[in-house]
Each structure stands twice: as C-alpha cells, then as structure tokens.
Amino acid sequence: MTRIIPEEERSNEPLDTENIIHHPDMERANEWIVTEYEIPSRKICIFVPCSKKKPYHTSPSHQKFDEIIYSLLGEEDVHIVTFGTCGVVPRELDVEYPFMNYSFMMGQCNVAKVKRDFLKTETQRISEYLERTKDNYEYRIAYCIGDFREAMTRAAEQTGIPVVIVPHSKTIERNIQPNKKFIYNSLSCSDYLSDFADAISKAAVQTNISENEAVLDESAIQCENDSDDSEWYES
C-alpha cells in the first residue's frame, strides 16, 4: 500500500500535544481519506471511537466490539470506521502514520477551548466523510459517548444522512458515574454493549442480511472490566 504521507514529507511537529487535531499530518491524512482513498462499499458502516492503544483494532475495546459485530455480520457486510481524536479513519488504515503515532487523548483534556475546537473540527470531518460515502453504505451505526457522540449527532443532522447512534440516551443516564472524572462509564459496560448488539441485529434485518433479529447470548456482551474507562480516560 502506498503510504498516506511518505516519511520524507512528514512534519517535525510533535504528535502528543493538544494541537493534535490540527497537526499538519493529521489534517493531510484526513483530507486524503475523503479525496483520494477508495473507500469500500458495504451494506453497513459501524463507527467506533479511537482508543489509547494503537493500532486501534488491537485494543481490548475494539476486540470486544469486533466480537459482537462479527457474531452478527459477515466481513463482507460491514465496514468499521474509527473516529475521534484521529478524525475519521477506516479500520484498514489504522496501522498507517499518523494514526499509529499520536498519544494525546481528548478524553483527558479539560481545556474548554480545546474541547470546543475539537467538537467543531470533528463535526466537520464526520460530515465530510458522511457526504463522501453517502452511496457507499445502506445503513450506519455509531457507538459513542461524550464529545464524540455530540460530534456524530451534529454531523448527521447537518448532512441529513441518518446514523443510528447508540447506546441509547436512557441507557447512558442509567450508567452515569458522577463521582468519576469520565462520568459516562466505559463503552465496554454490558448495558452499552447490549444496545450496540441490538442496533447491529436490527441493521442486519433492515439491509436484508438476516430475516430475523438475532439475540446474542448474554456472555457475548459481558466484559471483565465492565467499568474500565482507561481506553478513553486515565485518572
């Protein structure tokens, strides 16, 4: 595969600061995805948040997401796309620079200006991706909480392209942890994963992949670290 940004063309600017969303190489890579990359066409697109561990698909959270996704869908049915601090990154590109190389975690940031800027920029990037792929997918699901969820919600509203966003608001309210710095609990918690699995099952029926909604065994949505939020926020 041709590198997104050849090594000799990469910026010397560090990838571990709060300016990561506007890092020259992060901006260039996101622009390349929506202007030059041949994005696959699938019946379903599933957006999942970026993780602390790189590449994202090796992280505990993404491995759990994959376990649920691929128990309900075939690889030929779904395109997994990561979004968040990185912008919007198709799964097959998560081993590429700069997505493999940054360390800043937006979930750790409490600077109001940085968070406002992130929300504006990420909303724009998601909107561009949704517009670029409006004919690539029949159905879209986003699994997200916090600022990532707000950016996805705004982008879907701005573009008019429907995205089913889970976990449901009532589920989030039920799992709020007001005494923790990251109050929304972990996306690996069983309640959230149950909403995720239900959304995928419904999508499979809506896109004629399955005739009936599947019900996963309860063990498939259990997680050893049910409230571990370290993938998004380290205290």
Three-class SS of the chain: CCCCCCHHHCCCCCCCCCCHHHCHHHHHHHHHHHHCCCCCCCCEEEEEECCCCCCHHHCHHHHHHHHHHHHHCCCCCEEEEEEECCEEEEHHHCCCCCCCCCCCCHHHCCCHHHHHHHHHHHHHHHHHHHHHCCCCCCEEEEECCHHHHHHHHHHHHHHCCCCEEECCHHHHHHHCCCCCCCCCCCCCCHHHHHHHHHHHHHHHHHCCCCCCCCCCCHHHHCCCCCCCCCCCCCC
Q: What is the pLDDT of residue 1?
A: 57
CATH superfamily, domain at 42-221? Uracil-DNA glycosylase-like (3.40.50.10630)
- Taking 70 as the threshold, does the pLDDT of residue 194 lie above it? yes
* pLDDT band (50, 70, 90) for residue 232: very low
Q: How far from each other are the two terminal CA atoms of the chain, in whole angstroms?
A: 38
Q: What is the pLDDT of residue 227?
A: 46
* pLDDT band (50, 70, 90) for residue 112: confident
Q: What does residue 45 show for φ and ψ, rounded to 5 degrees?
A: -110, 135
For the chain, the structural domain boundaries read 42-221
Q: What is the pLDDT of residue 212?
A: 78
* pLDDT band (50, 70, 90) for residue 225: low
66, with CB counted inside 10 A (0-12, 13-18, 19+), is: middle
Tokens describing residue 139: 């159905």
